[in-house]
Structure 1
Amino acid sequence: MVSKFLRVSWRTVGAIISRVVVRKLDGLGDRLDGLKHIGIDELSYRRHHEYVTVVVDHEHGVVVWSSRGKSAATLRRFFEDLGEERCAALESVTIDLSRAYIAAVTEAVPHARLIFDRFHVQRLVQDALDETRRAEVRAAETEDGKRALKGTRYALLKSPWNLTDAVHQTLAELEQANQTIFRGHMLKESFAAILGGR
């Protein structure tokens, strides 16, 4: 898109990007020095068919390393570039729930505190609540009971600050109709508050 808009070849765009990156990085020294708290995630490109692993310095909010791929081998290369001494200085690593990343981090820096991204953890809680709701729908004895519980999915997933009067009413009725689902909902909200999402 950039090359079409500017009417230059993609190689020219790439060369410009390379020069800007070098200029912006000049004078920053070795970005891998002094790392204590890092975050690791993957970014997709080419319509989600290709991935890049990105490592961020949490203290300074800057990208310090990136490489193609999202495997444990990709992340191991980062720790190899970091070296033993700088790996020993890491205090915490924030990642998503990727098994590959978990394996690479626990292997390279077992002493560092492993922190899971709260959005991924919150998603697990929401999925568990939805599975509980579906199980309760299946267990309902009447069609009216099933229908009433099926209509609660949207209300259960809403954030408390976005609740309309109708959703408040649905949750109030749910508290009377099904304590199991309502208790799951309250646990989800408590968990979100603990994670800092409320």
Structure 2
Amino acid sequence: HRTDSLRPPPLHREPDTLLLVDETSIRKRHRYVTVLMNGDTGEVLAMVPHRSEAALSGFLAAQGHRWCRGVKVVVSDGSKAYAAAIAKRLGHARHVLDRFHVIRWFAAGLTAVRRDVQRRPPGSKPAFDPEVFRARFALMRRPDTLDGAERERLDALFEAHPRLKAAWDALGELHGLYLAKDRKGALEALDRFADIYGTGDIPEFSDTVDTFLAWHHQILDWHQAGRPSNGRIEGTNNLLQVLRRKAHGFTNYDNFEARGILIA
């Protein structure tokens, strides 16, 4: 049975050059499946039980050497288990991290700075600066998406809190990794971020720096890989979660896969 093995049968089809990999839950916060999609056509290839290295590695091994050699680019989130399976079975392909997950990692540094800046001395009421707190969503936006009034509001905030301005500028340069036209432009944006971080004003970005160093190949290869995205598979995961909620959860992997591939 499929549920008794981590190595499903082969697809008996031509290989896909762009492979998207992500996870979704079969029961909320309990059981997960690994979803694999053809990034060119949007076709769901399989939903493999579990989200482990063994699950993904077993699926890829079952497809055979010829199918695996046909995969040129793989897009995933920052799962170390998926990264290990991809390195083992698809070492020839470019492994790229989905930019949505990367930007979320980057934004965590700004969030940490904002939370520190908004705190007031013990005993103060309210316990945090309301102006800084209200600006939390505007701070997450890129400068080119702000209108005049929003930019003036942030400029006033930055005048009162210079460290917040440094953090916002740093996040803007990290956005530049993806806004750049090519890898060279991305490296230039990275240099500008390093200059800001090097001032020592935003130590909260240390985790961001460590994360980037751990995944720099998968982040910077985005340009050479054709700027791929996991957007298609994220949309399919939304459909799968609607299916799960309608069924009040699934207990059988095969049933979830059959229904999931049917609607997707």
- 1:152 corresponds, among 135, 152, 155, to 135
Deviation track 1:76-110 (CA, whole Å, cap 9, x = no partner) reads: 11111122232223211100111111111112222
Q: Report the 3-state secondary structure (helix = DSSP H, G, I; strand = E; otherwise coil) of the residue aligned with 1:39.
A: strand
- Measured in 1, the distance between the counterparts of 2:56 and 2:133 equals 43
- Measured in 2, the distance between the counterparts of 1:119 and 1:54 equals 17
Opposite residue 169 of structure 1, the aligned amino acid is: E
Residue in 2 that maps onto 1:12:
none
Matching of residue 131 in structure 1 with residue 112 in structure 2: yes
Alignment of 1:75-86 (within 5 A): 75-86=56-67
- Measured in 2, the distance between the counterparts of 1:180 and 1:160 equals 17
Residue in 2 that maps onto 1:6:
none
The verdict on how the C-alpha distance between 1:131 and 1:77 changes in structure 2, with shifts beyond 3 A counting, is same
Matching of residue 100 in structure 1 with residue 81 in structure 2: yes
Q: Report the 3-state secondary structure (helix = DSSP H, G, I; strand = E; otherwise coil) of the residue aligned with 2:64.
A: helix
Alignment of 1:45-194 (within 5 A): 45-137=26-118, 147=129, 148-158=131-141, 163=146, 167-192=150-175, 194=177
Structure 1 residue 111, shift from structure 2 partner: 2.1
- Measured in 1, the distance between the counterparts of 2:135 and 2:90 equals 44
TM-score, normalised by the number of residues in structure 2:
0.53
Compare the two structures and name the one with the higher strand fraction: 1
Work out whether residues 15 and 68 of structure 2, in 8 Å CA contact, stay in contact via their aligned partners in 1. no
- Measured in 2, the distance between the counterparts of 1:81 and 1:139 equals 58
Aligned pair count? 165
- Measured in 1, the distance between the counterparts of 2:63 and 2:175 equals 34
Opposite residue 38 of structure 1, the aligned amino acid is: L
Structure 1 residue 113, shift from structure 2 partner: 0.9
Q: Report the 3-state secondary structure (helix = DSSP H, G, I; strand = E; otherwise coil) of the residue aligned with 1:51.
A: strand
Deviation track 1:37-89 (CA, whole Å, cap 9, x = no partner) reads: 10001121333422221111112221122211111111011111122232223
- Measured in 2, the distance between the counterparts of 1:46 and 1:166 equals 44
- Measured in 2, the distance between the counterparts of 1:57 and 1:96 equals 16
Opposite residue 123 of structure 1, the aligned amino acid is: R
- Measured in 1, the distance between the counterparts of 2:120 and 2:163 equals 12
Q: Which runs of 5+ in 2 are unaligned?
A: 1-10, 180-228, 230-264
Aligned residues: percent identity? 28
- 2:12 corresponds, among 26, 30, 36, to 30
The verdict on how the C-alpha distance between 1:157 and 1:84 changes in structure 2, with shifts beyond 3 A counting, is same
Work out whether residues 41 and 54 of structure 1, in 8 Å CA contact, stay in contact via their aligned partners in 2. yes
Work out whether residues 155 and 170 of structure 1, in 8 Å CA contact, stay in contact via their aligned partners in 2. no
Deviation track 1:121-163 (CA, whole Å, cap 9, x = no partner) reads: 11111111111223344599xx79x625444323212466775
Larger Rg belongs to: 1
TM-score, normalised by the number of residues in structure 1:
0.69
- Measured in 1, the distance between the counterparts of 2:21 and 2:137 equals 32
Q: Report the 3-state secondary structure (helix = DSSP H, G, I; strand = E; otherwise coil) of the residue aligned with 1:176.
A: helix
More displaced 10-residue stretch of structure 1: 101-110 or 183-192: 183-192
Q: Report the 3-state secondary structure (helix = DSSP H, G, I; strand = E; otherwise coil) of the residue aligned with 1:45.
A: strand
The verdict on how the C-alpha distance between 1:154 and 1:61 changes in structure 2, with shifts beyond 3 A counting, is closer
